[in-house]
Amino acid sequence: MDWIGLTFILFGILFVLLLIGIPVAFAMGMTASIMVVTFLSPNMLVQIARVSFSVSTTHLFLVAPLFVLMAALVSHSDIAEKSFRAATKWLSWMPGALPASTVVACTGFSAISGSSPATAAAIGYAAVPEIRKAGHSKRLAVGVVAAGGTLGILIPPSVVLVIYGILTETSIGSLFIAGILPGMLLAALMVAYTMVYSMREGTAKAFELRPSWGERFSSLKGIWPILLLFIIVMGAIYTGIATTTEAAALGAAGALLLTVFRIDMRHKGLNRVLVKTAQTTAMLMLLIIFGSFFGFVVSRLGIAHGMVEAVLAANLDPWLILALYLVGLLLLGCVMDPASMMVITLPLAFPVLSQLGFDPIWLGILVTITVEIGMITPPVGLNLFVLKGIVPKDITMSDIMLGAAPFVLIMLFGLLLIILFPSIATYLPSMMSTR
């Protein structure tokens, strides 16, 4: 059977398993196993064990649980609320100060949480009531939190970038550094939108706080240790002083020292953090292991090679192929989480796109932003459901979806800018001591 027929069978089995409710990781493992037994050899099932050992023992895989632990420790503190309060004091002079402060707080918190839903939930608790109290529309209040939370999977440390790096064998440190400027660009676009929106709805000056400089600097006391930790971790990666794995260990140890003496951490808090870290790590490990085995089967069946040859023979414009892949991710984002999208599509798409000459670092940022948009697109936008669980009952799911809709367009515009100007993503990695 040719590679086209095998592709239809492969993804047909996968989608059937997903439709009947089997988790993505197990669905991929079962699909790959069925294809091996049917079209290759049952003896090759031993590759599952080899892939599992190879992936789970690589030093790169240590990056994920260490950064997950760092994020869990920091998220257990009150750093999110302190970040929002500090941002409101420093940005009180701006039109639409509270929505703009929400974006800035999300940017800062995502730099240490690495999780989009966690960022949306943590900042949402503090920000949504304050924004509404100032007279802003409820749609703006929830939309800005949902969109700001998406920065959690772009600004390092990002678990999604770790998954991309492992699956494509791309430098995770370079991916982390590459995510900084695009993350700041998206945050700036969101802030600009909140300012314009606030002026149009007549609430630009609804926030009347006029803090002194002393109050502004005092507000930083609760957040500077965590921000300093982030600077040290990213600085160590950027300068080449430490490997990504060593920097992750430094970040986890630093976060533990900064939070372990809190009263709530002593009362079973640390136990909950460790359990959450273990659960998240196990989920990621299964996704990556079965995703790697799925990629191995795609390669052995000749699907990846056949697709590369077909694309090159068709002489299609490389930019058209990239555009089609990104559009496909946008559509998948309506029904699937970011990690699952990447694990399923990268074994097919990455060999083609890399053969066409696209920079893997730049491509990783484009893919991450695209799956990031899926976090706020219905019907399975995770941030939308997270917000529904924490906002007042008078805010409906329709309000949340409509509030997030303008930010989808803003993020698409930011994605277009990075496509047109790749140096936004590649400049900082090109300046690193080691890439």
Domain regions of the chain by residue span = 58-430
Choose among 174, 114, 110: nearest CA to 427: 174
208 CB-contact burial (10 Å; exposed 0-12 / middle 13-18 / buried 19+): exposed
Q: Quote the mean pLDDT of the chain.
A: 82
Choose among 78, 77, 68: nearest CA to 114: 68
Choose among 61, 262, 247: nearest CA to 169: 61
Q: Output the pLDDT for position 16.
A: 92
Give the dihedral sign, CA 292/383/170/324: positive
**CB neighbours of 108 closer than 8 A, spacing ≥ 6?**
83, 87, 223, 227
Structure tokens at 297: 């089967």
Range with lowest mean pLDDT among 7-21, 66-80, 339-353:
66-80
pLDDT digits (tens, 9 = 90+) for 301-353: 888 778 778 877 878 888 998 999 998 888 888 777 788 888 888 888 898 89
**CB neighbours of 38 closer than 8 A, spacing ≥ 6?**
none
Higher-confidence position of 84 and 113: 84
Q: Residue 193 — pLDDT band, cuts 50, 70, 90?
A: very high
**CB neighbours of 7 closer than 8 A, spacing ≥ 6?**
303, 307
Choose among 386, 331, 328, 324: nearest CA to 124: 386
Q: What percent of the chain has pLDDT over 70?
A: 94
| CA dist., res. 86 & res. 89, Å (int) | 5
Choose among 339, 329, 352: nearest CA to 288: 339
Q: Output the pLDDT for position 208.
A: 62
Calculate the dihedral angle through the C-alpha atoms of 141, 144, 150, 154, rounding to the nearest 10 degrees. Answer: -140
Direct distance between the N- and C-terminal alpha carbons of the chain, in angstroms, rounded to an integer? 41
pLDDT digits (tens, 9 = 90+) for 202-212: 776 656 667 77
Angle at 432 between CA 430 and CA 433, to 5 degrees: 130
Q: Output the pLDDT for position 140.
A: 86
Q: Name the residue type at position 188.
A: A
**Which residue stretches of 223-269 are H helix?**
224-239, 244-259, 263-264
Q: Output the pLDDT for position 59.
A: 66
Average pLDDT over residues 121-132: 80
| CA dist., res. 402 & res. 404, Å (int) | 5
